[in-house]
Amino acid sequence: MENAKQNRMKELVKQLKEASKAYYAQDREIMSNLDYDRLYDELVALEEETGIVLSDSPTVTVGYESVEELPKERHESPMLSLGKTKSREELQDWLQGKPALLSWKLDGLTVVLSYDDGKLAKAVTRGNGEIGEVITNNARTFKNLPLSIAYKGELVLRGEAVITYSDFEKINAEIPETEAKYKNPRNLCSGSVRQLNNEITAERNVRFYAFSLVKAEGVEFLNSRKVQMDFLREQGFEVVEHVLVKPDTIQAAIADFEKKIETYDVPSDGLVLTYEDIAYGQSLGRTAKFPRDSIAFKWADELRETTLREIEWSPSRTGLINPVAIFEPVELEGTTVSRASVHNISILRSLKLGIGDRITVYKANMIIPQIAENLTGSDNLVLPEHCPVCGGRTEVRSVNDTESLYCTNPDCAAKRLKAFTLFVSRDALNIDGLSEATLEKFIAKGFIHDFEDLFHLADYKEQIVEMEGFGEKSYANLAESIEKARKTTLPRLLYGLGIANIGLVNARMLCRHFDYHLEDLMKADTEELSAIDGVGEVIAAAFVDYMKNDANRERIHKLVGELEIEVPVINESDQTLNGLSFVVTGSLNHYENRNELKEIIESLGGKVTGSVTGKTECLINNDVTSSSTKNKKAKELNVPILSEEDFIQKYLGGSSHAN
């Protein structure tokens, strides 16, 4: 019997770790919050029953492992998880008659900020609780974060980086190829905060809400958490909404938060209760995983039983076809719901769904409808063999151990939307005013069939002006943006075409090699392209295949007739980095981001790659002594590791500008 319990514990640890890794490190979801909590509680019960806690149990480990691409740093003190309860009475008893702060438990990414002499000095993610990722440059782009504050001493605080539901809906519709990655604001926020390019972070409206003060020497806080929060607000920080409660007021306060969550725009998955008396809370110490001065309250999910009517298959611009469960309407958390995303084929199969099955549904975090359990388990669903939009064949593909259904037709109308979204994006033709929603409307009305049609929208001015959300001014702004887009560069055009494996960097590389002669580029064969340093057979083959297609060639020629393509004048004497390959990692001081430094290196004839090889001239890393993967590789291959300052002195003549 004991062996059976231990085996079950090992099985639970494995399942929970896989779910945590997918959710925190890979920004994807393989099980619902309800399922995770159920398995976690089962593991806790078995550990208490057996007295055994496995070394890799999620009950004694915290968070996710940091990814390799960002610099890492150890926290001065471990960042622990919180003990949790779903019982309001238990929360009241926990107070032990003492006052405490009750606040939102925000659902984003925890970040530690350090200020020195009134300036933001460092931002580090929670990481695995011991070691986090340094994201200082990204934090500087948080929409509501003060970069300078009045307090000039050393200040350390913790808070949550979040993306609001309203921003999530806008961003998710406009950012190409993210629907397969981001299923909720938390995942989108995590991916945004941990970007290598802080331009992307800036575009995604990340906000920061402070929830605790770690250090502020020389300030008298009167032993009060509330005074600390007031101090942070005085410094310009937005602090998490909180209220001071006592045993006789806590139930009413919880009820108030419960009402607010129905319309609260910031993702939250519960509440946090922290003793107001700082010294008392600190005197309680901590367990292996939890501090004893705080506890988390998670909303008890309201479950409703209903009947599954059908599975609706919803195609996307990436070719991904998402299953959506349609069920008999039920009342949940004050609203009527009748549909819930099933996310992917893996989750669909794990639920063993069949039409007519009795299922239970709930709202994750009291917001997003989800299927909790299938009470029937008929498991008789047949996956569609044809795309509901174009009728093309479908296939199941496994990506990161998650199975999903895809449309295989490259000309599917749903995919055309993706193609237009990329073509008008910032790094391509950069046409403002053409959101994905607007493009979808224009496609549906027959205004645009191919890229060149975008430059003839004046033919439909009368209809566009009458469309919802448009008018004379909106149309005039769009027309002006389209005219500006006519003047572009060849790399932008190539990137905007959406050729497989051709990003903006590869497009620049190809254009430089052929001296920006489009016809020469279009005639190039695989052998010639493969010989270009940094291109390789895969990219070369994709490019040649695209150019062999008569429809694609005709599309390009029509576009060229609409555009004024600028050809850069290259002075060979300025190509001081010609033939040299560099790798840039970590945060920078002299440049806004790594893209800025990359563009300077490329303008001087150099190349920036993502990995260190024997051909790398040097690795640029301000943390020269770090034990990161790139530093280790550079040392193995005897590739010099230079700080940003040393690189500027050696290769840029002491100036951080190209010219």
* pLDDT tens digit sequence for 328-368: 998 886 678 898 889 889 999 999 999 999 999 988 766 67
Contact 365, 267 (CB under 8 A): yes
- 181 vs 527, residue with greater confidence: 527
pLDDT for the residue numbered 230: 93
Q: List helix spans (H) across 294-412.
A: 345-350
What are the pLDDT digits (tens) for 282-338? 888 877 667 888 999 887 777 899 999 999 888 776 678 889 999 999 888 667 889
Residue 381 CA: distances (Å) to CA of 327, 329, 378, 490, 638: 15, 21, 8, 48, 57
pLDDT for the residue numbered 79: 77
When pLDDT is averaged across residues 83-103 and rounded to a whole number, the result is 89
* pLDDT band, very low/low/confident/very high, at 633 (cuts 50, 70, 90): confident
What are the pLDDT digits (tens) for 130-183? 888 889 888 888 888 888 888 889 999 999 999 998 888 877 665 544 444 466
Flag whether pLDDT at 200 surpasses 80: no
Residue 279 buriedness (CB in 10 A; 0-12 / 13-18 / 19+): exposed
Query: Vertex 522, ends 518 and 525: CA angle to 5°?
Result: 135
Query: Would the pTM of this model clear 0.75, i.e. be above it?
Result: no
Q: Quote the DSSP letter at residue 568.
A: P
Residue 628, classed as helix, strand or coil, is coil
Q: How far is it, in rounded angstroms, from Cα 349 to Cα 358?
A: 16
Is 10 designated active site?
A: no
Q: How far is it, in rounded angstroms, from Cα 158 to Cα 79?
A: 10
pLDDT for the residue numbered 144: 85
Pairing state of beta strands 294-297 and 242-245?
unpaired
Share of the chain above pLDDT 90, in %: 33
- 177 vs 589, residue with greater confidence: 589
Share of the chain above pLDDT 70, in %: 91
pLDDT for the residue numbered 2: 54
Flag whether pLDDT at 219 surpasses 80: yes
pLDDT for the residue numbered 609: 77
**Residue tagged active-site, from 72, 105, 363, 607:** 105
* pLDDT band, very low/low/confident/very high, at 258 (cuts 50, 70, 90): confident
Contact 648, 655 (CB under 8 A): yes
Compute the mean pLDDT over every residue in the chain, rounded to the nearest whole number: 84
Angle between helices 2-20 and 33-50 (to 10 degrees): 140
- 575 vs 553, residue with greater confidence: 553
pLDDT for the residue numbered 181: 43
